[in-house]
Amino acid sequence: MKHIARTTLAALAALALSACLPTETEPLKAQPGGGEPRVNRQDNGAYTVRYTNGCIVTYNKDGRRSGSQACRAGQVEKADAAVQADAKSRGGGGLKVHKLKGGASRVTFDDGCVVTYNKKGRRSGSQGCHSRQVARADKAIQQGA
């Protein structure tokens, strides 16, 4: 009799526990609230944006959205804007290549960074730039932008 009671009790406990766990096929649902987006840039350049209500938006290293789950209306768009702002602050803003007299060039960024090149396309200096901006400027000059 004790054995049957223990078995029944164990089965009921397992059934109750399984009812509390979400199934793998059940999609995550957006919860109320969410607050402001928390932006996390990973070492490889990819981003993850999280909200307190469980919404998660992911981006690849090029800043393209690669997925989202459990988000409410407007949260994905706010995450997009937050990632764009973070990328711009890290040198991901727009750049312009200026061809100068004598064949020299200058690359300028929206935040005031300036990278200069001689007529052979070799970098001759930079001012107010992050290493990522200098690398982007170098690439733009190499590609003949």
Domain spans of the chain?
A: 26-90, 93-142
Q: What is the pLDDT along the chain (145 residues), one digit of tens a residue?
A: 555 555 555 555 555 555 555 545 455 565 666 789 999 988 777 899 999 999 999 998 767 899 999 999 899 999 999 988 887 777 656 788 999 999 999 999 877 889 999 999 999 999 988 888 899 899 999 988 5
Which amino acid is located at 21 in the chain? L
Which amino acid is located at 83 in the chain? V
CA–CA distance, 129 with 84 (Å, rounded to integer): 18
| pTM, 2 dp | 0.49
Torsion of CA 43, 137, 88, 98, to 10 degrees: 180
